[in-house]
Amino acid sequence: MDAVALTFDDGPYPSTTPALLAALGGVRATFFLWGEHAAAHPDLVRAIAAAGHAIGNHTWTHPRLTALDAASRDREVRRTQDLLAALTGVRPVLFRPPYGDTGPDVASLVGAQGLTEVLWSVDTRDWAGASAGEIVTAASAVEPGGVVLLHEGRPATVEAVPRLLADLAARGLRPGPVRG
């Protein structure tokens, strides 16, 4: 089977993360966690890690990184790295810039912190209020080796996950985490 990566940004959220973990069942994914949310819900960060999912850095406050000075960018990434490492015992190796907002300065910072920047090949637009059906339809465009962008905190995303997993299996695609 050909692999595709499922990624979930912006969590954790008490309202949806437990249901999302249940919907994924034994399927592993990558969770790009927002530092402020992780600090507010450390139990959920530990639950994501305990379920075997990869955890990536998604900055502390979710800013547009290219609009920040170098010191502010560094703080956004480093503070989240330190928290996630303290909560899970594993320092993240994957990074996703909020909004996909990146450039040479962001790439340099991320590389200097030992992180690999991960963007996506399919945007499900769940962040824009897409329905579960629209999310499944969008995700069906993923090709082998692709990366699907999804978000925590969206009930429609949780609802879409079982159908999305069934669709991928029917296409002979094996969902999993990003390989760092």
Residue 105's CB is within 10 A of a number of other CB atoms, namely 14
The proportion of the chain whose per-residue pLDDT surpasses 90, expressed as a percent, equals 98
Cα–Cα distance measured from residue 173 to residue 102, given in angstroms and rounded to the nearest whole number: 29
At 134-143, the pLDDT tens digits run: 999 999 999 9
pLDDT beyond 70 at 150: yes
* 43 tagged catalytic: no
Domain ranges within the chain, ordered by starting residue: 2-176
Q: Are 76 and 63 in contact (CB under 8 A)?
A: yes
Catalytic residue among 2, 9, 74, 126: 9
Catalytic residue among 37, 41, 58, 151: 151
In this structure, what token pair is assigned to residue 108? 């340099």
Cα–Cα distance measured from residue 23 to residue 138, given in angstroms and rounded to the nearest whole number: 18
* 41 tagged catalytic: no
Secondary structure, 3-state, 101-115: CCCHHHHHHHHHCCC
Q: Are 20 and 26 in contact (CB under 8 A)?
A: no
Q: Which of 123, 41, 121 is nearest to 87 (CA)?
A: 41
CATH of 2-176, one of 3.30.1490.20, 1.10.1670.10, 3.40.50.1100, 3.20.20.370: 3.20.20.370
Give, in degrees to the nearest 5, the angle at Cα 55 between 134 and 137: 10
Cα 111 to chain center, whole Å? 18
The pLDDT of residue 180 is 64
Report how far apart, in Å, the C-alpha atoms of 168 and of each of 2, 22, 60, 102, 160 are.
10, 18, 32, 29, 12
At 113-124, the pLDDT tens digits run: 999 999 999 999
- The predicted model gives 64-89 an average pLDDT of 97
pTM of the entire structure?
A: 0.97
Report how far apart, in Å, the C-alpha atoms of 141 and of each of 113, 123, 127 are.
33, 10, 17
pLDDT beyond 70 at 1: no
